[in-house]
Each structure stands twice: as structure tokens, then as C-alpha cells.
């Protein structure tokens, strides 16, 4: 299977390497004044605010437990309700979900993502200078947000304007879902919500929660379907959304006005929530901001995915013993197996991610969207991609046609008809009529369309007349570079460490944020945008999407988007439908016509 799981949002790292700051001002710990800070009284316990940003009147409630520790029999299971606690919690107890990544990849990817050209800061350079051995010796959980990694990690943070706590207003809610290739990331660190609340003028409440990653969150296959829970990370994300529905009113939030934001793996997660259960359940949000939605198609539940499960079980000492053995194993055993599995993955891949399971993920989101099986209650959506999604993930070892064909086989198997279709769509540089001069350019398009940008088009078509589309082209416009604009809040922080050589970035970030917070507050990106922005219309659908906002070094303009053309995305949708139908995994009543491969006599035989 193709698992070029992009390093979506790897920018979390080193968030705890500096003192915690907010908008350039140190947070006060308030140990001596802890009793004066407000509390949230939940049915299962009481949490007291851990920080107060007096300059912006924002309270932080950190590490609120939203589910029981997913250990023992709850490992590979749905998140369970927390136990009742009679002790007032102050946010000091929390953890980052277990994660791992080949250390050799961190510096280059993060340097590219944070650098983003002229708007880059010093973090990428710092990471690039760290040796692999040093990174390998660090606890990545501590780098994410200051907390050591632990299976007991299902916590969320809430950032609340003071006026909401005083009952003066009922505010809309923004729920952030972090990226990180589905193997890395955390709710805090660089994703501290203060800049978002500040950008809204103190008119939104911000919530971010952890979700299980890697094997803990995305181990799949038919055995997991029978004995465990594939896509457990998505169930954790939904539990955060349910927590908002149940409890956000306690701090002045409006549970009927929830937006979900995410980048990369976080954005890919949102697509899966919109198509979850074939659109038959409320996704628990009304609006969305989806930036660089990414995931790789993993669909062969009884084949590739089951073989992956069995390989992982063997690495954990549970060959042939199923989920019960994996649940009984100690944490170190599972974590070690996860690290080894990811390390053994081919270059540029990370081993785990969303998979079809016949339940939460009935079939690939592109197919659910095209067949009308998605949450139509979502009102308006901001859809975004950067101008260069793929270059940092292109594997230089693919230097000839043989290597490219092997790359196809890794993703889709050794099917001659399918390989012929893909090589026709992405012709060899040696072919006289090829538009590609190098294998690198060929592979870049292959990855960009199949993994990133076509997801934007599929959503645009499904939500016709309800999407605002944007291309982020500031600086180099590499994957992840737009996150800094989301969370920029002044000087001194992880993503707010001054403007570097790009002196106009602070103003640009404020303008960019005004579009997003206007959408969160009103459903319209234009209603509350600030000076220096331009009118951003609903996208126009054609062979190329037009009226797309282009965010550049010189401000904003409207363009036609060359990265989401119908011919490119229709091709990949047919590939997805073809492999689904040929293997018999299409949900009954939701079979999308396909052309590349012959469908099984019953396309739903293995659903």
C-alpha cells in the first residue's frame, strides 16, 4: 500500500524548548494565586484554569481529561468515559500520545516547512543543525508540548476569553486537530490557542485535544475490525467534539456553533469526519477550515492491511495471537514495535494512517463524497492547499522508470492495467510527448494529486456553492508553511518569533487570520476581514477552479487553480473506485462507477 504519509505539521517539535509565551509575553504560572483562578465543574471532576493572559484576557484550562486512559482492555478500543475524581485538577497532569519518527527526517522536513522562504524563522535552522543521535535521544513527547509521552494522553486544552466566563456572551468554538503524519503531534506547544482567540478579538473559544497516533491510533486490518478498533485516533477526535457538545456551555461556548480546523493529517482527519459512517451521523460541527488535507489510500482491508497487522503483531511478540495479546503486552513492547515498524517502512513513508474499515471509514473519502454519502449539515468550508505540497516528500531514489513502477506497485500492487493507466497519466521523462523533464517532477505530481490537492477538489465538488478556496504561495509555499500564519501572534513564541527578513509577515498574518476567524464567527470569510484583504468569493467550479484566493508575498489576489484540475482529480477518483470495486469493498448502495479495472461481480462482496 502507498503510505507516503506526509509530515503534515511536523512543526510541533521544540515547542517546549523555550519558555512558554503568549503573544510575546510570558505566561504567569500563578502558583501563589491559584485559588483565584476560575474552575470548570464537570460531571466527573473539576478543573481550574492553569494560566491567565491578562494582556488579552484569556484563561487557559489545560489538560482536561476527556476520556479514560486507553490502556489494558481500552487499548485499541473506543475512548471510554473518565473516572470520577474529587480532587481539583490544575492542569499539571497530562501527557502526549506515544509517537515516533525517523530522526534523520526531522531537520530537513522541519526546516523546509518552517522556512517557507522569506517568512521562515530560526527553528528550522536550529533543527537542521541538531545531529540525528541527539534527536534520537530526546523524548519527542516532551518536544511537542512539554509533556512526556504516555498512553494516558487523552486530554484537551480550552482557551476562554474572560467575558465568556463571566456569562456576558455565548461564543462560537474553534476545535483544532493537529497534523503530524498520523504518527506525531500534540494539542499544545506551537498550537497554543491564544493567538487564535486574540485574532478573533476575544470572540471565539479555542479547544484542542490529543488523539492516539501510530499503531496505538491507526493499526488496521480485518483482525482489528473483529477484535479491536481501526482508526482509534478518529474516535478520539470525535470524543473531543462530543465533549464540546456536552460541556462547552460551562465556559460560555455555543455547542451549536462549532468550527473544526486542521492542517495536513488534521485536515485529512476532518475529511474522514465529514464522510464518517457514510454521512449518517452528525459530525458535531457546522463549519470547517481544511488546510492541505492529506492521507494515503489504504483500502485493502483483508489483504494489505491485514498483512500489516500480522507483521506488527509479530514484531510485538504476538504472532498469531490477535488483539488480546497486543492489549496484554506492556507499553514498552508496543512502543518498541511501533518504532521498529516505522523505521522499517520504505523511505518517505511512516507506516500508519487512516484505513477503510467498513464502519467509521466505509470507503475512501473521495468515493463517499462523489456518491453523496457525507455530512450535508456542514454549512460552509474553507479549503486550502499550498503551492508546493509534494517537493519535500519526493524520494530521490526514484531515478528511472523501473523505480517508478516499483513505487506504483508499493501503493497499488502489481496490476498491469492499473500500472498502464498511471504511467499513461504520468509519462516517463524519456517519452517524446512527456510533460516531465525529470523523474522528480513526475513523482512530485503523482504525490501531489493523489495525496493532497485532489482532496480539495473532491470537497469543493461535494459542497458546491459552499466553499472558499485558497492557495498559500507565500515564500516557497511548501507543505506546512501556512501554519505559521494560523498561529502567529507577535514576537517571541515558537511560531511568533519575529518576522525575520519578511518584515511584512506580521501584517499578512493578521489579515490571513481575519479571514479564518471571520469564518468561525459568521460562516463568511469576508464579513469581519480587516483592511488590506480583498473580497474572497465562493469558488467557481470548472475544468479548473476559479475565484481562488492566492496568498502571496505581495498580499492577496484571485486566480484559477492549476493544482486541482478536473482531469487530474477525475483520474485519481477512478483509480480509487476501480481498486475498491475490484476487491469488493464498496458499501452496498454506494458503488461508484469505475473504468480502469473490471469490477468484481459483486462490488460489495467483501464490505
Among candidate residues 50, 112, 200, 264, the one labeled active-site is 264
β pairing state of 171-177 and 205-209? parallel
Cα–Cα distance measured from residue 230 to residue 324, given in angstroms and rounded to the nearest whole number: 14
Q: In Å, how far from its chain's centre is CA 352?
A: 13
Name which of 63, 52, 118 is nearest 85 in CA terms.
63
The cell for 217 is 491510533
Q: Report which DSSP code applies to 363.
A: S
Sole residue written with cell 489576489: 557
By C-alpha distance, which of 284, 281, 273, 274 is closest to 246? 284
Question: Does residue 264 carry a catalytic annotation?
Answer: yes
Which three cell numbers, joined as nine digits, stand for 430? 524519456
What ranges make up the beta strands (E) of 482-533?
Answer: none
Cα-Cα-Cα-Cα torsion 447, 453, 458, 460, nearest 10 degrees, comes to: 180
Q: Which CB contacts under 8 angstroms, 24+ apart, belong to 567-574?
A: 567/543, 568/425, 568/449, 568/454, 569/449, 569/453, 569/454, 569/457, 569/458, 571/421, 571/425, 571/449, 572/366, 572/449, 572/450, 572/454, 573/366, 573/367, 573/370, 573/454, 573/458
Residue ranges of alpha helices (H) inside 26-139 are: 106-115, 123-129, 132-137
Distance CA 38, CA 161 (A): 12
- What sign for the dihedral angle of Cα 405, 595, 430, 434? negative
Strand partners, 438: none
Closest CA to 50 of 82, 81, 94: 94
Specify whether the CB–CB gap between 464 and 82 falls below 8 A: no
CA-CA distance, 322 to 87, in Å (whole number)? Answer: 38
Catalytic residues: 264
Amino acid at each position: 500500500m502507498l503510505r507516503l504519509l506526509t509530515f503534515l505539521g511536523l512543526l510541533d517539535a521544540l515547542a517546549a524548548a523555550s519558555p512558554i509565551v503568549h503573544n510575546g509575553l510570558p505566561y504567569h504560572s500563578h502558583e501563589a494565586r491559584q485559588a483565584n483562578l476560575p474552575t470548570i465543574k464537570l460531571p466527573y471532576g473539576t478543573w481550574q484554569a492553569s494560566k491567565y493572559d491578562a494582556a488579552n484576557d484569556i484563561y487557559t484550562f489545560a489538560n482536561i481529561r476527556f476520556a479514560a486512559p486507553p490502556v489494558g482492555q481500552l487499548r485499541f478500543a473506543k475512548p471510554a468515559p473518565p473516572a470520577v475524581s474529587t480532587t481539583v485538577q490544575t492542569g499539571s497532569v497530562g501527557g502526549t500520545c506515544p509517537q515516533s519518527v525517523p530522526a534523520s527526517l526531522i531537520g530537513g522536513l522541519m526546516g523546509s516547512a518552517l522556512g517557507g522562504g522569506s517568512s521562515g524563522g530560526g527553528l528550522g535552522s536550529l533543527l537542521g543543525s541538531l545531529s540525528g543521535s541527539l534527536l534520537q535521544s530526546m523524548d519527542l513527547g516532551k518536544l511537542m508540548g512539554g509533556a512526556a509521552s504516555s498512553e494516558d494522553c487523552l486530554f484537551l486544552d480550552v482557551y476562554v476569553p474572560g467575558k465568556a466566563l463571566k456569562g456576558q456572551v455565548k461564543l462560537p468554538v474553534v476545535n483544532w486537530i493537529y497534523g503530524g503524519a498520523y504518527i506525531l503531534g500534540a494539542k499544545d506547544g506551537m498550537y497554543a490557542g491564544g493567538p487564535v482567540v486574540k485574532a478573533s478579538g476575544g470572540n471565539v473559544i479555542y479547544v484542542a485535544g490529543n488523539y492516539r497516533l501510530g499503531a496505538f491510533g491507526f493499526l488496521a486490518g480485518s483482525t482489528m475490525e473483529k477484535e479491536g478498533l481501526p482508526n482509534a485516533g478518529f474516535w478520539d477526535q470525535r470524543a473531543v467534539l462530543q465533549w464540546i457538545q456536552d460541556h462547552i456551555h460551562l465556559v460560555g461556548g455555543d455547542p451549536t456553533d462549532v468550527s473544526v480546523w486542521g492542517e495536513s493529517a488534521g485536515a485529512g482527519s476532518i475529511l474522514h469526519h465529514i464522510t464518517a459512517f457514510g454521512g449518517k451521523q452528525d459530525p458535531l460541527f457546522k463549519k470547517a477550515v481544511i488546510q492541505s488535507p492529506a492521507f494515503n489510500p489504504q483500502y485493502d482491508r483483508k489483504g494489505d492491511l491485514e498483512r500489516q497487522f500480522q507483521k506488527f503483531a509479530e514484531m510485538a511478540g504476538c504472532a498469531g495471537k490477535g488483539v488480546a495479546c497486543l492489549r496484554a503486552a506492556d507499553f514498552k513492547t508496543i512502543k518498541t514495535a511501533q518504532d521498529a515498524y516505522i523505521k522499517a517502512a520504505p523511505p518517505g513513508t511512516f507506516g500508519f494512517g487512516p484505513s477503510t474499515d467498513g464502519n467509521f471509514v466505509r470507503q475512501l473519502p473521495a468515493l463517499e463524497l462523489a456518491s453523496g454519502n457525507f455530512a450535508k449539515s456542514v454549512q460552509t468550508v474553507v479549503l486550502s492547499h499550498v503551492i508546493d505540497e509534494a517537493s519535500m516528500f519526493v524520494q530521490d531514489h526514484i531515478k528511472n522508470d523501473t523505480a517508478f513502477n516499483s513505487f506504483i506497485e508499493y501503493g497499488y500492487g502489481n496490476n498491469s492495467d492499473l500500472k498502464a493507466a498511471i504511467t499513461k497519466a504520468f509519462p516517463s521523462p524519456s517519452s517524446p510527448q512527456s510533460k516531465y523533464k525529470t523523474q522528480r517532477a513526475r513523482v512530485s505530481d503523482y504525490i501531489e494529486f493523489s495525496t493532497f490537492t485532489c482532496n480539495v477538489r473532491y470537497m469543493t465538488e461535494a459542497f458546491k456553492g459552499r466553499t472558499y478556496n485558497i492557495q498559500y504561495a507565500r515564500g516557497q509555499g511548501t507543505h506546512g508553511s501556512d501554519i505559521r500564519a494560523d498561529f502567529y501572534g507577535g514576537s517571541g513564541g515558537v511560531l511568533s518569533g519575529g518576522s525575520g527578513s519578511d518584515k511584512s509577515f506580521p501584517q499578512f498574518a493578521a489579515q490571513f487570520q481575519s479571514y479564518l476567524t471571520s469564518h468561525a464567527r459568521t460562516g463568511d470569510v469576508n464579513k469581519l476581514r480587516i483592511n488590506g484583504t480583498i473580497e474572497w468569493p465562493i469558488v467557481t467550479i470548472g475544468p479548473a477552479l476559479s475565484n481562488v484566493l492566492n496568498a502571496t508575498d505581495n498580499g492577496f489576489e484571485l486566480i484559477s487553480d492549476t493544482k486541482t484540475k478536473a482531469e487530474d482529480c477525475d483520474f485519481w477518483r477512478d483509480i480509487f473506485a476501480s481498486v475498491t470495486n475490484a476487491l469488493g469493498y464498496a458499501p452496498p448502495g454506494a458503488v461508484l462507477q469505475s473504468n480502469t479495472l473490471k469490477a468484481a461481480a459483486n462490488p460489495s462482496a467483501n464490505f
